[in-house]
């Protein structure tokens, strides 16, 4: 979360309701990515209300990949679930993602009906088309952050800025089975989007080339042990 002070209590209320249907052994890690609007204090109040909640505070903003990496570093579960803190993901889709793990190592969301601005939807379609063209992958919404994966998958996610856009591709090229399922997407209710279009298009394209290079250099897995 970055500058999402108004979203914190609403997101926790939704998560708390969903967690009632899950196993008791669950934790919720809020990552405050260098917020300056009181988000950290809002998370701390939630932390005091429920022992399942943990908080990671990044004093300097590190971006989405950096925030996810910080969460991965402290997560203790065998299954890792990620979602954005801006309320555009619907936590009620969480059981659906978890159920699909019976047939895959990772399940990624597909925001079939995007509720963003028209400009952002067009930019996303172009970005996905370019990514599929360059990488030849089948994923329709690689940048959707609503995902569930086994803990083993974390070893395939390099700690480099920008890699949050390519999680399904990175997992797939490292031998993990990845499936994509539709998830609901909601309009932003508070704050503002942290992602520009003009300032990220070229960078995302360069990152795409980097992932393509990594795929050509990946080593085959060990198949025999004596």
Phi/psi at 42 (nearest 5 deg)? -65, -40
List Cα–Cα distances, 124 to 16, 65, 185, in angstroms: 31, 18, 14
Q: Which two tokens stand for residue 56?
A: 């990671």
Give the span between the Cα atoms of 62 and 179, in whole angstroms. Answer: 28
Count Cα neighbours of 159 within 13 Å in the Cβ-side half-sphere. Answer: 9
DSSP label at residue 52: T
Ranges under pLDDT 70 in the chain: 116-119, 121, 191-200, 223
Strand partners, 5: none
- Domain 8-217: give its CATH superfamily: Spore Coat Polysaccharide Biosynthesis Protein SpsA; Chain A (3.90.550.10)
- Using DSSP, state whether 182 is helix, strand or coil: strand
What pTM, to 2 d.p., does this model score?
A: 0.86
What pLDDT, on the 0 to 100 scale, is given for residue 35? 96
List Cα–Cα distances, 225 to 176, 213, 221, 222, in angstroms: 20, 29, 11, 8
List Cα–Cα distances, 90 to 13, 98, 114, in angstroms: 12, 14, 12
- Using DSSP, state whether 54 is helix, strand or coil: strand
Could you tell me where the DSSP H helices lie in the chain? 8-19, 39-49, 63-74, 94-100, 118-135, 167-173, 198-217
Residue spans of the domains in the chain: they are 8-217
């Amino acid at each position: 979360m970055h500058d999402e002070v108004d979203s914190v209590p609403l997101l926790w209320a939704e998560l708390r309701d969903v967690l009632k249907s899950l196993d008791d052994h669950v934790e919720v890690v809020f990552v405050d990515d260098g917020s300056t609007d009181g988000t950290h204090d809002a998370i701390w109040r939630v932390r005091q209300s429920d022992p399942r909640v943990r908080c990671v505070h990044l004093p300097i903003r590190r971006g989405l990949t950096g925030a996810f990496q910080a969460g991965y570093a402290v997560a203790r579960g065998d299954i890792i679930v990620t979602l954005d803190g801006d309320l555009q993901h619907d936590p009620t889709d969480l059981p659906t993602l978890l159920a699909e793990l019976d047939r895959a190592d990772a399940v990624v969301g597909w925001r079939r009906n995007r509720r963003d601005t028209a400009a952002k939807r067009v930019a996303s379609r172009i970005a996905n088309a370019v990514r599929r063209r360059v990488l030849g992958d089948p994923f329709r919404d690689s940048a959707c952050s609503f995902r569930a994966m086994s803990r083993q998958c974390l070893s395939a996610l390099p700690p480099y800025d920008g890699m949050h856009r390519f999680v399904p591709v990175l997992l797939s090229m490292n031998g993990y089975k990845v499936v994509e399922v539709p998830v609901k997407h909601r309009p932003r209710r508070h704050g503002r989007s942290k992602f520009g279009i003009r300032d990220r298009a070229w960078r995302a394209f360069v990152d795409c080339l980097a992932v393509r290079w990594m795929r050509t250099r990946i080593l085959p897995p060990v198949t025999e042990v004596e």
